[in-house]
C-alpha cells in the first residue's frame, strides 16, 4: 500500500545496459504504489540525484555499472 512515507518511484539501475525486469517483480513494485523505472545504472544514479534535489520521494537499487551481460541469452534482473 502507498503511504505518504513510501517512495513515489523506484529507479532500478540494471548495470551497463537496460535489462528486462521480471514481470512478477514489476507487479510487486506496482502493488506497493510505486512506479518502477528500469534504466542503465549511470542514468538511474543521475535521475535519482535530480529527483532527490527536487524534493521527490525516490528510491534506487543500482547494479554495478561494470558488470557485463552474461552470455548471449537475455537475462532478467531476477536472474542476475
Residue 77's pLDDT is 57
Q: Tell me which residue range forms the domain holding 48.
A: 9-62
Question: What tens digit of pLDDT does each residue of 16-75 get?
Answer: 999 889 999 999 999 999 999 999 999 999 999 999 999 999 999 999 976 655 554 555
**Which pTM value belongs to this model?**
0.74
In a domain, 71, yes or no: no
User: 73: which 3 cell numbers?
Assistant: 541469452
Here the CATH number for the domain that contains residue 43 is 3.40.1230.10
Of 77 and 59, more confident: 59
Q: Are 21 and 77 in contact (CB under 8 A)?
A: yes
In total, how many domains does the chain have?
1
At residue 33, the pLDDT reads 93
Classify residue 37: in a domain, yes or no.
yes
SS (H, E, C) the chain: CCCCCCCCEEEEECCCCCCECCHHHHHHHHHCCCEEEEECHHHHHHHHHHHHHCCCCEEEEECCCCCCCCCCCCCECCCC
Assess if residue 31 is contained within a domain.
yes
> Residue 80: inside a domain, yes or no?
no
Assigned domain for 73 exists: no
Q: In this structure, is residue 79 part of a structural domain?
A: no
Amino acid at each position: 500500500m502507498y503511504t505518504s512515507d513510501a517512495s513515489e518511484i523506484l529507479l532500478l539501475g540494471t548495470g551497463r545496459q537496460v535489462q528486462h525486469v521480471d514481470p512478477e517483480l514489476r507487479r510487486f513494485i506496482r502493488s506497493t504504489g510505486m512506479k518502477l523505472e528500469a534504466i542503465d545504472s549511470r542514468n538511474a544514479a543521475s535521475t535519482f540525484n535530480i529527483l532527490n534535489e527536487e524534493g521527490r520521494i525516490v528510491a534506487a537499487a543500482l547494479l554495478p555499472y561494470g558488470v557485463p551481460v552474461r552470455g548471449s541469452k537475455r537475462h532478467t534482473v531476477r536472474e542476475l
